[in-house]
Structure 1
Amino acid sequence: MNIALFGSTGRVGRELTSLLTEAGQPFQALVRSPEKLPPKSKVRIIKGNVRNAEDVHSTIEGCSTIISCLNTDGDDTLTAGMRNILTVANEFKIKRIITVGTAGILQARSEPSLYRFQSNESKRRSTRAAEEHARVYEMLLKSDLDWTIACPTYLPDGKLTKSYRCEAGFLPEDGTSISVQDTAHFVYTEWQKHHYPCTRVGLAY
Structure 2
Amino acid sequence: MRVTVFGATGGIGHHVVQQLLDAGHHVTALVRSPDKLPITHPDLTLITGQLSDRTAVTEAVTGTDAVISALGPSLKRSTTGTQLADGTHTLVAALDEQKVTRFIGLATPSLPDPRDKPHWKHKVLPVMAKLMFPNALRELTAMTEAVTSSDLNYTIARITNPTNKPATGHVRSGFLGHDHVGNAMSRTDIAAFLVSQLTDTRYQRAMPVISN
Structure 1 length-normalised TM: 0.89
What does 1:1-205 align with in structure 2 at a 5 Å threshold? 1-37=1-37, 38-73=39-74, 74=79, 75-106=81-112, 109-110=118-119, 117-119=125-127, 125-168=132-175, 173=180, 175-205=182-212
Aligned length in residues: 203
Q: Which runs of 4+ in 1 moved over 2 A?
A: 106-112, 114-120, 122-128, 168-174
Mapped partners of 2:58, 2:164: distance in 1? 32
- Native 8 Å contact 1:155 1:179 kept in 2: yes
- Native 8 Å contact 2:153 2:205 kept in 1: yes
Q: For residue 70 of structure 2, what is the amino acid of its counterpart?
A: C
Q: For residue 125 of structure 2, what is the amino acid of its counterpart?
A: F
Mapped partners of 1:173, 1:124: distance in 2? 27
Specify every segment of 5 or more residues in structure 1 that has no aligned partner in the other structure, as ranges: none
Specify every segment of 5 or more residues in structure 2 that has no aligned partner in the other structure, as ranges: none
- Native 8 Å contact 2:130 2:137 kept in 1: no
Mapped partners of 1:153, 1:124: distance in 2? 16
- Native 8 Å contact 1:29 1:46 kept in 2: yes
- Among the aligned pairs, what percent are the same residue? 25
Deviations 1:63-115 (A, max 9, x none): 12111111214442221111111111110111110011223224684469x57
- Superposition CA RMSD, Å: 2.4
Distance 1:133-1:171 versus aligned 2 partners, 3 A rule: farther
Structure 2 length-normalised TM: 0.86
Q: For residue 71 of structure 1, what is the amino acid of its counterpart?
A: G
Mapped partners of 2:131, 2:163: distance in 1? 16
